[in-house]
Amino acid sequence: MIRAHTVEQVRAAEAVLLAELPEGALMQRAAHGLAYAVLDLLGGGYGRRVLLLVGSGDNGGDALYAGVVLARRGAIVEAWLLSDKVHEAGLAALRAAGGRVRRLDTSSPGGSDYSTSQGPVSSPFDVVVDGIVGIGGRPGLRPQAVAALEAVRGIPVVAVDVPSGVDVDSGEVSGPHVTAEVTVTFGTHKIAHLVDPAAEAGGVTHLVDIGLDLPAPALEALQPADVAALLPRPASQAHKYTRGVVGIRTGSTTYPGAAMLSVAGADCGLAGMVRFVGDAAVLDRIRTVRPEIVGDGRVQAWVVGSGSHQTAEGQLSATLDDGVPIVVDADALEFADMVAGRRAVLTPHAGELAGMLGADRHEIEARPLHFVRRAAEAYRTTVLLKGRHTLIAHPGRPVRVTTTGTPWLATAGAGDVLGGLIGALLAGGLTPYDAASVGSWLHGAAATYASQGGPIVAGDVARALPAVVASLPA
Ligand SMILES: NC(=O)C1=CN([C@@H]2O[C@H](COP(=O)(O)OP(=O)(O)OC[C@H]3O[C@@H](n4cnc5c(N)ncnc54)[C@H](OP(=O)(O)O)[C@@H]3O)[C@@H](O)[C@H]2O)[C@@H](O)CC1
Ligand SMILES: [K+]
Q: At what angle do helices 88-96 and 58-72 cross, to 10 degrees?
A: 10
Sheet architecture: strand order including 182-186: 100-103, 76-81, 49-54, 127-131, 157-160, 182-186, 204-208
**Ligand 1 neighbourhood includes 33 CB (under 6 angstroms):** no
CA 120 to ligand 1 center in whole angstroms = 28
Protein residue closest via CA to atom 36 of ligand 1: 56
Which stretches of the chain score pLDDT less than 50?
110-121
Tens of pLDDT, residues 425-437: 999 999 999 999 9
Of the candidates 367, 349, 372, 359, which has an alpha carbon nearest to the alpha carbon of residue 173? 367
Three-state SS sequence of 130-149: EECCCCCCCCCCCHHHHHHH
| Residue of 59, 132, 186, 207 best suited for mutating to test ligand 1, as the one with most atoms within 8 Å of CB | 59
ipTM over 0.90: yes
Spell out the domains of the chain, with CATH numbers in brackets. Answer: 2-217 (3.40.50.10260), 224-470 (3.40.1190.20)
Quote the CA–CA distance of 12 and 30 in Å, as a whole number: 17
> Could you tell me if 32 and 93 are in contact, meaning their C-beta atoms sit under 8 angstroms apart?
no
What pLDDT does 120 receive? 42
What pLDDT does 124 receive? 86
Q: Which residues contact 110 (CB under 8 A, 6 or more apart)?
A: 142, 143, 144, 145, 146, 147, 148
Amino acid residing at 230: L
Of the candidates 319, 206, 329, which has an alpha carbon nearest to the alpha carbon of residue 258? 329
Residues 383-415, buried b or exposed e (16+ Cβ, 10 A)? Answer: bbbbbbbbbbbbeebbbbbbbbbbebbebebbb
**Ligand 1 neighbourhood includes 173 CB (under 6 angstroms):** no
CA 61 to ligand 1 center in whole angstroms = 9
Atom of ligand 1 nearest to the CA of 26: 49
Quote the CA–CA distance of 374 and 376 in Å, as a whole number: 6
What pLDDT does 309 receive? 84
**Ligand 1 neighbourhood includes 130 CB (under 6 angstroms):** no
**Ligand 1 neighbourhood includes 156 CB (under 6 angstroms):** no
> Could you tell me if 423 and 380 are in contact, meaning their C-beta atoms sit under 8 angstroms apart?
no
**Ligand 1 neighbourhood includes 55 CB (under 6 angstroms):** yes
What pLDDT does 113 receive? 41
Ion ligand 2 neighbours, Cβ < 5 Å: 130, 159-160, 164
Protein residue closest via CA to atom 35 of ligand 1: 56
| Eight-class DSSP state of 336 | G
Q: What is the DSSP string of 238-283?
A: --HHHH-EEEEE---SS-HHHHHHHHHHHTSSSSSEEEE-S-HHHH
Of the candidates 357, 345, 315, 349, which has an alpha carbon nearest to the alpha carbon of residue 332? 315
> Could you tell me if 129 and 52 are in contact, meaning their C-beta atoms sit under 8 angstroms apart?
yes
**Ligand 1 neighbourhood includes 196 CB (under 6 angstroms):** no
Strand-pair partners of 129: 52, 158
Of the candidates 231, 232, 300, 289, which has an alpha carbon nearest to the alpha carbon of residue 259? 289
Strand-pair partners of 245: 273
Q: Which residues contact 404 (CB under 8 A, 6 or more apart)?
A: 440, 441, 442, 443, 444, 445, 447, 448
**Ligand 1 neighbourhood includes 57 CB (under 6 angstroms):** yes
Protein residue closest via CA to atom 33 of ligand 1: 137
What pLDDT does 440 receive? 98
Q: How far from 111 is each of 104, 141, 148, 150, 335, CA to CA, in Å? A: 11, 13, 8, 8, 53
Does 62 carry a binding-site annotation?
yes
* SS3 (DSSP) at 123: coil
**Ligand 1 neighbourhood includes 134 CB (under 6 angstroms):** yes
The length of the chain, given as a count of residues: 474
What pLDDT does 119 receive? 42
Q: Which residues contact 83 (CB under 8 A, 6 or more apart)?
A: 54, 55, 56, 60, 106, 144
Protein residue closest via CA to atom 30 of ligand 1: 141
Does 226 carry a binding-site annotation?
no
Q: What are phi and psi of 359, to 5 degrees?
A: -110, -175
Does 382 carry a binding-site annotation?
no
CA geometry: angle at 351 spanning 349 and 357, to 5°?
100
**Ligand 1 neighbourhood includes 137 CB (under 6 angstroms):** yes
Strand-pair partners of 303: 248, 327
Q: What is the DSSP string of 397-428?
A: SPEEE-----GGG-STTHHHHHHHHHHHHHHT
CA 82 to ligand 1 center in whole angstroms = 13
Strand-pair partners of 418: none
Quote the CA–CA distance of 256 and 404 in Å, as a whole number: 29
Does 61 carry a binding-site annotation?
yes
What pLDDT does 272 receive? 96
Does 138 carry a binding-site annotation?
yes
Protein residue closest via CA to atom 25 of ligand 1: 137
> Could you tell me if 290 and 307 are in contact, meaning their C-beta atoms sit under 8 angstroms apart?
no
> Could you tell me if 305 and 333 are in contact, meaning their C-beta atoms sit under 8 angstroms apart?
yes
Quote the CA–CA distance of 255 and 84 in Å, as a whole number: 64
What pLDDT does 106 receive? 65
